[in-house]
Structure formats: structure tokens, C-alpha cells
Amino acid sequence: MRADYRVFFDACVLANHGVCDLLLRLAERPRLIVPHWSAEVLSEVRRTHSEKLGWPPHLVDSFQEKIQQAFPEAVVEDYGGLIPGLTNDAGDRHVLAAAIRGDCPLILTFNLKHFPPEALAPWSVTASHPQDYLLVLYEMEPKQVIGCMGEIAGRRKLETEDVLIRLGQALPSFSSRLLDDLNA
């Protein structure tokens, strides 16, 4: 049942490489989540990577190609008709609309203020900070989450603790919790 839980990723989550890497590894088999996003979200990620983060064009293109190849079923379409009836932040109504159309009961975002509960409740959707959701996944499947952290560390030729320290910038409680557990 956990493997069928559909989660919509806001652009701010996909644009954060460390957070995105961990979440997408948890979406690989054996998966804990089924990720979703829209072409509009991927366009926002492209702009963030190139304009705000200064990624070189070949890395921006590579990220876009790899994410679409790895999760071709993730793209949600035909949600525009829902946007006029939504009341969350105008700049993020496309995110809520796509989550509704994609039958995703959860939106992962760093911008929780753009998704107030009263705007989401009519659609049976909630929003969560990635840190809070990762803590839930860790409670459910600690070995799998730690295993993914180990894979990331191995690929980067770092210790798991070093990867967690770097993740601590975006996910301080999650990072601290795992570091505490690893050192216990």
C-alpha cells in the first residue's frame, strides 16, 4: 500500500538537488512513494537551476532528461480547467490543480504558506514540508531510508554522515534525527 502513495512535488523540492535525490531514490523500487509533477513544474525547475543556481546548460538539460526518463508516468496533464476554482496562492494554483488531477493527496513543498489547509481541504489534499514527510517515511521504513542515504554517499564518495550534514541545511530536523540514530 505504501508504494502506491501518490505525492506531488512542487518545483522548490525538485530544484533542491539533495532533497530531490533522496526523495526520488525512495520512489525507486522498492518504492515508498509514487512521485508526480507537471511540465509547468519542470519548467520552473529548469529556470531555477539555470537562472538562480547558475547550473551550466548541459547539467540543466541532463537533469531534465534523466528525471523524465526515470519517471515517465510522473507528469500530470490536463489540469488547467481546475485553476479558476482554487483559492491558494495564485502563483501556485497550478501545483494544486495538478495534484488534484493526478489524484495526489499530498503536495511536498518548502512554501507551505502558499498552500493553506483551508484552500486544500475541499480537495482532500494536504501540503507537507519535505522534512516532515521524510521523517514519516523514516519512521515507517528506517532501513530503506538509511539504505538510500548510503547509496547517495557511495555515489558521491562521502560518508553517510557527511551527506546528512549537507542535507541539514534544508532538512535540519531530519538530518539531526538520522545522525543521532546512526551514532547511537
Q: Write the pLDDT tens digit of every residue in 35-86.
A: 999 999 999 999 999 999 999 999 999 999 999 999 999 999 999 999 999 9
Task: Give all domains of the chain, ordered by start, each with its CATH number.
Answer: 2-128 (3.40.50.1010), 134-183 (no CATH)
Binned at pLDDT 50, 70 and 90, residue 3 comes out as low
Across 123-133, average pLDDT: 98
pLDDT for the residue 29:
81
Q: What is the pLDDT of residues 6-40, one digit of tens each?
A: 999 999 999 999 999 999 999 998 899 999 999 99
Binned at pLDDT 50, 70 and 90, residue 183 comes out as confident
Question: In the predicted model, is pLDDT for residue 1 greater than 80?
Answer: no
Listed residue (28, 23, 31) closest to 134, CA to CA: 23
What residue type is 132 in one-letter code? D
What residue type is 86 in one-letter code? L
> What are the two backbone dihedrals, phi and then psi, of residue 108, each rounded to the nearest 5 degrees?
-95, 125
Binned at pLDDT 50, 70 and 90, residue 93 comes out as very high
d(CA 27, CA 23): 6
